[in-house]
Chains A and B, each alone.
Chain A
């Protein structure tokens, strides 16, 4: 009975979002306050009923209700409770419910933190989100109901959650990624609301900016978590595989990054308006594309859910209507959007434009590489795959160019800057960056590598130019501390995110240049050298977990002859499914990771294993954290709140005068 209640509240949520997607929108276009006022309560209702629905699904998992098909497929009575609860997003149906629930969380947030925006604008935003929400729920009810029962005879036990998913990373990565992904729907809804109302001024950019920053920050964390999880769980020694399902979040992220920069130009200078709107539509399309690719089964990938063509068609239809419709609206309204100001060839506007062009080209090339095999197959009926070399060949040069611009951008002035000013400002910065880039890798790792030199040079270029900018900005104050205090949160946010890029660059460069890995066969007592480290295999023993059995190896690590630690990698067999799984042992460090994955045992008793030494790999994720932190504090800038208050007064005046004329 309880699962039916879940489905019932899903249907209620659907009805409410249909209302939300229609009445308030009509109300906004007819200036009907009564209908507009429905938007907030309806949003709350959608949130509540989706919340009930997902809680009931979690409850079905927690109580081992194997009459629910989705529970049977993704859980087992032996599964630890934390994985039972999170198995809600362990498969297609439940993860889509999570996705939709996340959308309703964003909608609720918009309805709460928008008290200062004009009501017709908020209502349009919520209405657009309501339409999306209704489409998602309809998709669930029609093709992938998580509450479907197995009747008349439910199985005694479930088939278990995929062992690769039984890990801490699975608890946090999907919700964070979805939260970030879905956040771009909000920015999209702002753009569509602006197009609908024809209010394409700087105020629109100011309202959307905090939302875009937060969505971008959460997506950054979500992608970084995925990379970190894949790194330690899959035991392949890499942190990015250019997998067809990794790519759409990256495409969305690249569009999102372009968007938050272009929003800055739109807000501050009133330029690039139509471009910004287009980017908001593109970022949102990227997120839908991700859903489509994972859920349609069109591409071979580790993430793909079991495929079902009707689902693919349904999502493709949503994608087509949403993207096609918004692009049509964009085309109709674009002539209304005129730049308010001009700018010179050397100005911050042009640098931001350069940033946007590079990011969009990067996104487009990733898109091309991801979808090319599909298109190729449709045309020639031959299967092909595009390997990492393609992506690296395109992506790396683009990002190098982007970082070069990044060093100049913050020092450059809006509207017009002279080249001699920039040379004066950045000449020394450039020279010292190159010097540091050559010296630091040599000093730290005693080796020369071109990749390491390039990445450290670029990282130094970002950091030093930022210091130079800080020095300039605080130079005229009575003391430096006062100067630092006077700078805005959004300025600090920008710098934190840029430092994040520098940190990530160092991580990527040094890991790519100085990693070692070796697959070996070791008998107990044997040892092997790798870099400065020596790994000795002391033997293996049996281990038993709650829902698995397996073996554990004892590996003693020495650095330059000194004892460092023991590592204990495991190889497990999960009981319910009989699936083997490796648990690698990691010694994570600020400057390097050491890790060992266990292969299989030979008849002689020797074990095959792969040993990795990965310098600076943590810096990649650390950099992402800095970026996300920057995005979040920038969204907290008091300028947005202050302007909201001012806006509120203005709107109140407008409304009262509007009512008077109407009366």
Chain B
């Protein structure tokens, strides 16, 4: 190879190596930090492994909120109007957290099979329904229009 070709080849090799290392590391970091999303029905069917960090979307079931009087512990059911998942959380719930409204929780199943949430997200705007809540309701055949009838059944 001629010297200038060798130099150019070196540069290309260097860039290619750097690029593949960067892409490799990025993809590794990405794969380590994916939070899968589950619907209440999927959780009830036992699709979630213990300790796996996941997100669950659904509606806060009417009458299910049970907050302790002497601590910040709170328990409520997230529902897609077919199945419910009981969510345990310790902390202050977001402003817009309410019965009959959409909620997304982040957390994992503990060894006793109880879902411990590390974060509870309520929607930010009155007219806005989170993609995740909508997906959960759609999967269960419920929608914002007909969920009240489903809820009564």
A residues engaging B (CB < 8 A)?
159, 162, 164, 297-300, 302, 304-306, 361, 365, 368-369, 372, 376, 382-387, 389-390, 393-394, 519-521, 577, 579-582, 597, 599-600, 602-604, 608-610
Contacts and interface: CB of A to CB of B under 8 A. Distances in A.
B127 interface: yes
A597 B93 CA distance: 12
- Which residue among B29, B132, B135 has the maximum number of chain A CB atoms within 10 Å of its CB? B29
B33 A393 contact: yes
Contacts of A298: 131
A385 B34 CA distance: 6
Chain A at the B interface: mostly helix, strand, loop or mixed?
A: mixed
B69 interface: yes
Given A384-B36, A389-B32, A394 B26 contact: yes
Contacts of A520: 72
Nearest to A301: B124
Contact of A597 (B33, B57, B92): B92
Nearest to B71: A521
A251 to B, nearest CB: 15
Nearest to B37: A383
Contacts of A162: 124-126
B33 A579 contact: no
27 contacts: A159-B126, A297-B131, A304-B128, A305-B128, A361-B22, A365-B26, A382-B36, A383-B37, A383-B55, A383-B57, A383-B131, A385-B37, A386-B34, A387-B33, A387-B35, A387-B106, A390-B33, A394-B29, A519-B90, A519-B91, A521-B70, A521-B72, A577-B126, A580-B95, A580-B96, A608-B92, A609-B92
A300 B92 contact: no
Nearest to A160: B126
A361 B29 CA distance: 14
Interface string B121-153: 000111110111001000000000000000000
B30 interface: yes
Nearest to B57: A383
Nearest to A398: B22
Contacts of B93: 599-600
Contacts, number: 94
Chain B at the A interface: mostly helix, strand, loop or mixed?
A: mixed
A372 B30 contact: yes
B72 A608 contact: yes
Interface in B10-27: 22, 25-26
Nearest to B26: A365
Nearest to A573: B95
B126 A368 contact: no
B7 to A, nearest CB: 11
Nearest to A374: B131
Contacts of B96: 579-580
Interface residues of B, number: 35
Given A386-B30, A581-B95, 5 more contacts: A369-B30, A384-B36, A393-B33, A519-B72, A603-B69
A7 to B, nearest CB: 24
Interface string B83-117: 00000001111011000000010100000000000
A157 to B, nearest CB: 15
Given A386-B30, A386-B34, A521-B70, A579 B126 contact: yes
A282 to B, nearest CB: 17
Contact of A299 (B30, B106, B131, B135): B131
Given A385-B37, A520-B72, A300 B95 contact: no
Nearest to B25: A394
A604 B67 CA distance: 12
B34 A384 contact: yes
B36 to A, nearest CB: 6
A300 B125 CA distance: 12
B10 to A, nearest CB: 11
A386 B33 contact: yes
A577 to B, nearest CB: 6
Contacts of B25: 394
A365 B67 CA distance: 41
A384 B96 CA distance: 23
A300 B131 contact: yes
B142 to A, nearest CB: 16
- Which residue among B32, B71, B95 has the maximum number of chain A CB atoms within 10 Å of its CB? B95
Contacts of B106: 387
A365 B26 CA distance: 7
B110 to A, nearest CB: 19
Given A383-B37, A385-B55, A608-B92, A368 B128 contact: no
A366 to B, nearest CB: 10
Given A385-B35, A387-B35, A600 B30 contact: no
Contacts of B36: 382-384
A70 to B, nearest CB: 13
Given A306-B128, A368-B26, A390 B32 contact: yes
A602 B65 CA distance: 13
Contact of B37 (A382, A387, A602): A382
A520 B142 CA distance: 37
- Which residue among B34, B57, B71, B132 has the maximum number of chain A CB atoms within 10 Å of its CB? B34
Contacts of B29: 390, 393-394
A519 B128 contact: no
B14 to A, nearest CB: 11
Contacts of B125: 162, 306
A304 B131 CA distance: 11
A571 to B, nearest CB: 9
A300 B26 contact: no
B70 A386 contact: no
Contacts of B135: 383
A582 B131 CA distance: 25
A306 B93 CA distance: 23
